[in-house]
Every structure is written in structure tokens, then in C-alpha cells.
Chain A
Amino acid sequence: MALIEVEKLSKDFSILKRDPGLKGAIWSLVRRRYETVHAVSDVSFEIQRGELVGYIGPNGAGKSTTIKMLTGILIPTSGHLRVCDFVPYRERRHYTRNIGVVFGQRTQLWWDIPVIESFNLLQKVYKVSDNDYRRRLDEFKELLNLDEILDVPVRKLSLGQRMRCDLVASMLHNPQVLFLDEPSIGLDVVGKLRIREFLQRINRETGVTMILTTHDLREIEELCNRLIIVDHGRILYDGGIGGLRTKYAFDRHIIFQLSESHPSDGWQNDLDFNGSVRWETPDPLKVKASFRKESVNPAAVISSVMKHLSVHDITIEEPEIEQIIGMIYSQGKVKQ
């Protein structure tokens, strides 16, 4: 049985509509109009134990709402939801012992007390045995370089330091699932890298299942073996990153840098590949071939070009994951 089961999950909000201007404002004291917004509609997926899933989508796509439902903070409008054999919102206090949550935007630690005091308190809150607690804390301390910041109150930490402490706080009770809502938001390159390594390592060592929302697609590429793309509250794609490239069958480009300018025309006729390759000549010393990955063998294209033109250099361009996802987003919007 899957660790996380989500079936036809939906969440509607009603939003207060306010008329502009003073008149509207005074009217709103007496009469209010509400409008229903479908933040999440009909979302279904399953996640197995140990998976590392990226949950992405543009701002306002319904990611946070989904995470809030999965963590038991929000009750769904309709649909079925089961995590670690719990219905999160129904048995929340027992359920929360099984999960860890990290919000990049705000800390889960107590603002005024030193980090280590927060950890000690959490040990008691989650009833972690002294042995386990000490072992995990020592390990995390080393992995994340925490020695110097443990005695500092949270409000005095930098964003990166705070994030590292938040990660530790969420893992102290050895949860089965770790939810990460934009964990690297606002961090510098080093900070991001450190967190990425930490997540990879604990996923490998403890087998904790992770769900990660982020806008950083590099992070997704490096960390996740599965990707769920949402927009307007609906799932647009669910699968591996490799599969994304195949499914959306994007063009691959080969750019030839020539040592002498190509003949003005005629040479393409021999390189037609039954019309499946498009040719462009941005300047006299450059030729660009674009084709679909599955219909043409790139080696064949290269060798044919080499026969006809004197090639100085070759670059192969795969579409960036950003471009692919950008296209999915914009297509998703068109479908609406």
C-alpha cells in the first residue's frame, strides 16, 4: 500500500469581494459578497515509501494548499486523503508525530530562545528517547555544521542558518514523511547546495519520504526522481524528469560552427530526412538543425552535415527543464 494516497482531492475557498471606493467599503459593513475559488481541484496521486517527489507549479497553483491538507492543517472540501495510515486532519495530534514539516518562509522554532533549547523542548514534545535524540543531534550537527549556532536565539540567525536548524528540528523525531515547502527560498548558492546534500543523504540513510515544493528547478533535477506539476489546482504532469522530455517531445538542436561560409542554397536538399529536420542559418558561419528526438538519429544528422560542409565546432542543445516546464505552464493555461 502506498504511504501517501490522494484521490480526487479538492479544496475551495470563499473570498470576500469588496467593491472599490468609500461607498463600497461602507456597504460592506452591512452586506458582503463572496466568491468561490477552486484552489485545488480533483488532484489524485500516490507516493511510495522512500520516494523523493518534487511538487511544482507557478505561484498560486495550489501547492501550499495541497501541502497544508497533507500535513493536516487544512480540511479538504472533498476527496480522499491518507498519509502513513492516518487521515491527517482527523487524527492530527497523533498524525503529526509521523511527519516533519519545513516552511522556507517562516521558522518552526521558538523565536526568542536558543536553538538548542528549542531542540530540547521538541525532544520532549515528540517523546524522543535520550539516546536517539543525542545520536541524531550529533549526526545532524556534523552534517550541517551547527556547532557555533546552537546557543544563539533564532531571531539572531541568518536565513541560511535558520533553515539548517529548521531542517534538524523537523527530523529529530525521525518522521516517516518530510514536507518541505520552498526550503531553499532566498538562500545563496552555498546554502542551497548544503541543504540539497543533507536532504539526499537523509533520504538515502533513513528512507524518509520527501515531498518538496520549490521554484528552483535545478533543485528538482538534482534531488527528485519524480515530478508532479500543478497549475490552477490541477495536475498537469506526474512522472520522472526523463519522461517529461519524452512526453513533451521537444526539439533538440544541433548547432554547427563552420570554418568557411556555407553555399547560399541547395545544400539542404540532400539533408532533408523526409522533412523532419528544420534548418536555420542565423549567419554565414552557422547552421542550426532542429528535429524531434525520437524521429531522427542525431548521429546521422551530424555525419551528413560533415559530408557537405566544413565544420569547425558542434554544440548539441537539449531544452532546459525550465523551458519545458514553462511550456507546460503556458499550455495548461491555454487549456483553461
Chain B
Amino acid sequence: MTGGECRAGSTGNAVMRWPVMATYIEYLRISFHKMLAYRISYLIGVFTYGIHVAVYYYLYKALYAETETINGYKVDDMLTYVAVGWICKSFYLNYIDRELTDDVQSGQVAMDLIKPIDFQAMYFSRGLGHSAFRLVLFTPPIVVLTVLLFSVNPPADAVHAVFFIFSTLMSVLIYLGINYIIGVLAIFFLSIRGVLYSKNLVIELLSGLLVPIDWFPDWFRTMSAFLPFQGIAYYPLAIYLGRIDGVELLQAVGFQALWVVIMIGVGRFIWMLCQKRILIQGG
């Protein structure tokens, strides 16, 4: 984690590295446990998520009723794209943006600021805790439901499967990076809070979850090339379907890695600016 590296760099010895990491692992663990406490939310979450997948699945099914191929995607490919896409989302999703604004409102942020920890690394750990919870308890039932009810193809081949897994892990980090930035910004712009609730929709579109990026007109694809979002859904899914091959595989993952670094950097920079304001205003 970035925070771990940053700390280790400043203290400069290996002995310090582990205790620092342990702190963040603890945050991850606590966040995992917190999710477990909400039993009903969990059950409702699985139920509504299942419906969510089904709605988009049938939407595409209806779209393909009269034709075999649209924009180079066969029916099977597209339905797999939708199903796997939503399965992945059930894993990389987190709510740290909302947690961050809640913490500011309740004054918890002041308590975190006086602790010798890296603020961003702490929220990342909490976000990873969410994802860990989802991987263990949320995604499996969704996978079972989806595979049983709908027709889903397996990954293109073993190489693509490996790259797909790696690419999905990257999408977790990109999503975390974006959410962190939005959360920090929302501290200062009250009205973004309303937007927070529907921001998922924007990310769903820009990431290529709703429609594959290569269905879009040229201007949109050019824009996407300069934005982090397609690293969240489109790349992992295109890899899964085997639409990306050879050197392009590395390019796709490289694109994701680059954006992870940028998002973390931007997040740190914005926090640095905002932290001053928090300290001045007193939270």
C-alpha cells in the first residue's frame, strides 16, 4: 500500500515497516467486521443486486431479438459481458466516499487527523475491507445466481483468465482512488452529496459497464482514452471475452496501473489542499 511505503520511506528502516502495515491491516479487518454487522442490508443487497443484473441482462436480450451481431458483439458475448460485468461490480464496489463525508459530519475526521497514520492509506484499507467482504460473502451468491439463471460463457482461455483476475484487482484500486477523491471533494461542496447517490450511474456508463466502450461514437472513445473509467469495467471484460490480445493485454493492464498511480497521487494532492482548510475551519 502507498501509505505503508510512504511511512517506511520516512522512517527508513525495515523494522518499522511491519507495525505500520499492521495498522492498516487492522483497519481492513475492522471494516470487514462492520459489514458483517448489517445482516439485513446484506440480504436485501444480494436480492436487489440479483434483480439489477437481470434487468440489464433482459434489456440486451431484447435488443438482440432481431439481430445476431451488434457492433461486432455476438449475442452470447454481449450477455456474458453484462453478466460478468455486474459480477465484477459486486466485488469492486465500495462506499468510502460516503464514509468519508459521514466521518467529517460526525467529527470523526478530527480524531483520525491526530493519529500517526496516513489518511488516504487508512481509507484505502477500509475500502479493501469492503471488497474483501464482498469477495467472500457478496459475490459468490451473485455468481451462483447468474450462472444458474443466465447463459454465461467461460473466459476466452487460461492466459486471459489470469489477466482478467489481475485486471479486476486493478479495477478495485482505480475505483477506490476515484471514490476517495469524490469523498474528499464532497467535504467542501455540500451539493455534491446529492450527486454522490447517483454518481454510480455515471461511473457505470463511463466505465463501459452499461455499454461496451467500443459501441460509443469516436469522440467518446477518444475522451475515454484520457480518463480512468474504462479501466474499471471495460478492460477486465474485454480481456475476459478475449477481445484484447497479445501486446494489447499488457497495454490494458499498464493503462490501469498508470491510472492507479495517478488517482492515488491526485487524491493525496487534493487532500493536502483540503486538509489545510479543515485545520483552519476546525472541521
Contacts and interface: CB of A to CB of B under 8 A. Distances in A.
A28 interface: yes
A32 B39 CA distance: 10
B33 A25 contact: yes
Interface string B69-84: 0000000000000000
| 3 nearest CB pairs, A to B | A25-B36, A25-B33, A29-B39
A125 interface: no
Nearest to A27: B36
A26 interface: yes
Interface of B: 32-33, 36-37, 39, 42, 137
Nearest to B42: A29
B140 to A, nearest CB: 13
Q: Most chain-A CB neighbours within 10 Å: which of B36, B37, B42?
A: B36
A1 interface: no
A189 interface: no
Contacts of A29: 36, 39, 42, 137
Interface residues of A, number: 7
A15 interface: no
Interface of A: 18, 22, 25-26, 28-29, 32
A32 B37 CA distance: 11
Contacts, number: 15
A122 to B, nearest CB: 24
**Chain A binding site: helix, strand, loop or mixed by DSSP?**
loop
B102 to A, nearest CB: 15
Contact of A22 (B33, B37, B39): B33
B209 to A, nearest CB: 28
Given A25-B37, A29-B39, 10 more contacts: A22-B32, A25-B33, A25-B36, A26-B36, A28-B36, A28-B39, A29-B36, A29-B42, A29-B137, A32-B39
Nearest to A30: B39
A22 B42 CA distance: 17
A28 B37 CA distance: 8
B105 to A, nearest CB: 10
A79 to B, nearest CB: 32
Contacts of A26: 36
6 contacts: A22-B32, A22-B33, A25-B37, A28-B37, A29-B36, A29-B39
A26 B42 CA distance: 12
Contacts of B36: 25-26, 28-29
A25 B30 CA distance: 11
A146 to B, nearest CB: 23
Contacts of B137: 29
Contacts of A22: 32-33
Contacts of B32: 22
A18 B36 CA distance: 11
A298 to B, nearest CB: 53
Contacts of B37: 18, 25, 28
Contacts of A25: 33, 36-37
Nearest to B36: A25
Contacts of A32: 39
Q: Most chain-A CB neighbours within 10 Å: which of B32, B37, B42?
A: B37
A25 B35 CA distance: 10
A18 B39 CA distance: 13
B251 to A, nearest CB: 39
A18 B37 CA distance: 9
A32 B32 CA distance: 18
